Chains A and B, each alone.
Chain A
Amino acid sequence: MTTWANLDSRVQHLVDDTAQTYWTIGSSGSIRKEIESAELLIALFRGLSEDTVDISLTSGTAEYRILDTATDFILPFRATISNVPMRKVAFSSLIRLDPNYRVTQSTPEMWYSLGSARMGVYPVPNGSFTMKLTYLRVPPTAQSSGSPVIGEEWHDTLAEYAAAILKASEGRVEEGVDLLKTFLSNLGIRLPRFLRGAAQKEASSTATPFYNQTD
């Protein structure tokens, strides 16, 4: 299993910076930050990082800010009460179904999303319930040991993304583009126009971007 330390080292070799002249390693290093961004992007696109949390439903309360309970919450996958699955309903459909959606009380049977931080249940709970919510989550960050949560088959791809970002940051844009193209192809994401045409652009790789130049 590839560890975080292995990945840091892989990226160092890809960007030719094993001496940490430009980029730092470790749980709070600049290399790790981009590896974690790559993991988040893959988790978002492929739904590869999930968790389950208990949400306490209280009588008379229709809506809940899930981010307060699960700070890594992205979006809900499924919800159950006492092992009975709840149906997902679109908010727009719910308010057409019942304009009194925040008043009608019973055992909740449906859930709906309210943006990226909140969920609601319908009918409004008429007592206390525990809703088990399985959701897409932000993968854990800044870990001093262990491995990424997404599968081993993605780990090389994580290093390619991080190296792409760091190379472009140094002004080695063409090299960054090549690595990013490989990453996006592996993920199955269509290339943005810039990346499709960037190979034709020639730029001096020895020039320092002017915003890094000292006066």
Chain B
Amino acid sequence: MAIPASTLATVKSLLRIADTDRDTVIAECYERVLHRTVQRYDWFKSIELLNAVANQSIYTAASSTVRILGIDYNGVALRKTTASSQDLLNNGWQASAVASSGTPDVWWINQLPPIVDALSGITPIQFIIHPPPSGNGTNAITVHGVSLPGSDAPAQLWVIPFLVYRTVSEFIRQSVEEREQDTAAEEVSMLTSQFFDAVADVWENVIEGVIPQ
């Protein structure tokens, strides 16, 4: 994943690095920070429309999707369920899951009925709706999810300082871990990393209290 140019410039300014030799490392630090942020928070919600296919239960969200929060079918929110709930409520549900199609009522993401859609596995960005739709439908399925921002800077401008400070701290920390000698420069570096981590913590706490999840 590329780091946005303006973010890279700000990070390098705070690290007081002028050369481009470490741009790749900085980008890797930024990517780790962004991934951790998206996994932890729902700040980057997304909506995706999918076409419903007759008798098809399994659908795949966009590859940038990190987490699926909810599914609508023709504007109606589907209930989320789990395989264990189905086991408790309806013994033999797997057989009924491959019964006649109809209007989807529930969705889930774990444990496929063994013969539904003849799938051998399921990935984190796939989900199942049941019953499978009885007919095709353009944009009939709405996937509410959390997605990674692309290579451009996040459209949410308020998150950028947080990402910058965390990336600065991450870069310094991973650089220190590569060193073997205990020097005064290293101590200053670790303190600087901890300082920027503390600043990022302040931003994170403020944002957590303000931005709806």
- Provide the bound-state CA to CA distance between A68 and B211, in Å: 18
Contact across chains for A210 and B189 when beta carbons are under 8 A apart? yes
Tally of contacts, chain A with chain B, CB under 8 A = 152
Which residue of B has the minimal Cβ distance to A62? B75
- Residues of A with C-beta under 8 A to B36: none
Q: How many whole Å from B39's CB to the nearest CB in chain A?
A: 15
**Interface of B (DSSP majority class):** helix
A10 CB within 8 Å of chain B: no
- Provide the bound-state CA to CA distance between A40 and B165, in Å: 14
Contact across chains for A211 and B175 when beta carbons are under 8 A apart? yes
A131 CB within 8 Å of chain B: no
Binary B-proximity of A60-102 (CB < 8 A = 1, otherwise 0): 0011000100011011000000000000000000010001111
- Provide the bound-state CA to CA distance between A149 and B178, in Å: 44
**Interface of A (DSSP majority class):** mixed
B14 CB within 8 Å of chain A: yes
- Interface size, B (range): 35 or more
Contact across chains for B172 and A95 when beta carbons are under 8 A apart? no
- Provide the bound-state CA to CA distance between A116 and B156, in Å: 7
- Residues of B with C-beta under 8 A to A56: none
B72 CB within 8 Å of chain A: yes
Known: A75-B212, A101-B77. A115 touches B192 (CB 8 A): no
Name the residue among B45, B188, B205 with the largest chain A CB count within 10 angstroms.
B188
Contact across chains for A115 and B43 when beta carbons are under 8 A apart? yes
Across the interface, B186 reaches (CB within 8 A) one of A67, A74, A100, A210, namely: A210
Which residue of B has the minimal Cβ distance to A195? B198
- Interface size, A (range): 35 or more
B89 CB within 8 Å of chain A: no
Q: How many whole Å from A100's CB to the nearest CB in chain B?
A: 5
Contact across chains for B192 and A173 when beta carbons are under 8 A apart? yes
Contact across chains for A207 and B188 when beta carbons are under 8 A apart? yes
Q: How many whole Å from A42's CB to the nearest CB in chain B?
A: 9
B203 CB within 8 Å of chain A: yes
Contact across chains for A41 and B203 when beta carbons are under 8 A apart? yes
Across the interface, A113 reaches (CB within 8 A) one of B187, B191, B205, B212, namely: B212
- Residues of A with C-beta under 8 A to B22: 211
A146 CB within 8 Å of chain B: no
Given contacts A41-B202, A212-B17, 4 further A-B contacts (CB under 8 A): A44-B207, A67-B155, A207-B188, A213-B185
